[in-house]
Amino acid sequence: MAMIELNHISKEYRTDNIVTPALSNIDLKIEQGEFVSIMGASGSGKTTLLNIVGCMDAPTAGTYLFDGKDLSREKENNLSAIRGKRIAFVFQHFALIGDYTIFENVEMPLIKQSVSKTVRQQKIQSALEAVGIKSLSKKKAAHISGGQKQRVAIARAIACGADVILADEPTGALDSKTGKEIMELFTNLNAEGKTIILITHDRKIAEYAKRLITIQDGRILSDEAISKNNLAFSCTKYAFYAYGLQGK
């Protein structure tokens, strides 16, 4: 059984009698532990798809099964519980509260989950350590760089214990070097078993994943494993590291 299973999913937005079809008849299975990139032109339906997978939006038709449970017609309370515990989001513009410290930003979902103070402290310290910003924990989110903000957002996803991380253009607001560092973090998280689904407009970013889905006009145009050439590239890169050379 796939962890994420979309069967004949369609989505239409209706505003002021205008109907906009966003997704048409999507069939998709994603197994636990996969790392998937989604690409497609602007307006092709990528964010709509991610929002349905992340229980932020409901489909107009079709069924969405998460771990075998049909969530398509689930009540908001139950969806919000799944969002909080199983699925975390990382956004292009970070979605942090600027006036809160880094520690407090990571802490918020844990308070919502009623995690005790001692356990919260442990989870937050270990998540901040995993993304390399433990020393910044008392700084306000407004006073750190874009790359550091995205690390906070990833730490928040790690700390809340989600096993699925959905990332919508996570490197879109970052320079290419910082973007690569963020993608290395996602690669590590995937190696630890997290399921990652990531939207990007950048083919190089997409190639960090193991599978690439292309969307066009609300339909899946292609769904393929990332090619061996790229694996050869990453093997070369890791060989560089293994021999203690500068791997660039």
Ligand X SMILES: Nc1ncnc2c1ncn2[C@@H]1O[C@H](COP(=O)(O)OP(=O)(O)OP(=O)(O)O)[C@@H](O)[C@H]1O
Which spans of this chain sit near ligand X (rule: CB under 6 A)?
13, 15, 20, 22, 40, 42-48
Question: Which CB sits closer to ligand X, 20 or 78?
Answer: 20
Residue 185 · residue 131 · CB < 8 Å = yes
Residue 83 · residue 112 · CB < 8 Å = no
Question: Which CB sits closer to ligand X, 48 or 137?
Answer: 48
End-to-end CA distance of the chain: give it in Å, rounded: 39
Question: Which CB sits closer to ligand X, 20 or 145?
Answer: 20
Question: Which CB sits closer to ligand X, 43 or 132?
Answer: 43
CB of residue 12 vs ligand X: minimum separation in angstroms?
A: 9
Residue 102 φ/ψ, nearest 5 degrees: -60, -45
What is the Cα–Cα distance from 233 to 245, expressed in whole angstroms? 15
Question: Which CB sits closer to ligand X, 110 or 215?
Answer: 215
CB of residue 7 vs ligand X: minimum separation in angstroms?
A: 19
User: Quick check: helix, strand or coil at residue 12?
Assistant: strand
CB of residue 41 vs ligand X: minimum separation in angstroms?
A: 7
Give the DSSP H or E segment for 88.
Answer: strand 87-91
The bridge status of strand 211-216 relative to strand 195-199 is unpaired
CB of residue 45 vs ligand X: minimum separation in angstroms?
A: 4
Handedness of CA 137, 142, 144, 146 (dihedral sign): positive
CB of residue 14 vs ligand X: minimum separation in angstroms?
A: 8
Question: Which CB sits closer to ligand X, 40 or 179?
Answer: 40
CB of residue 90 vs ligand X: minimum separation in angstroms?
A: 15
Hey, which residues does 168 pair with through a beta bridge?
Answer: 91, 199
8-state DSSP, 246: -
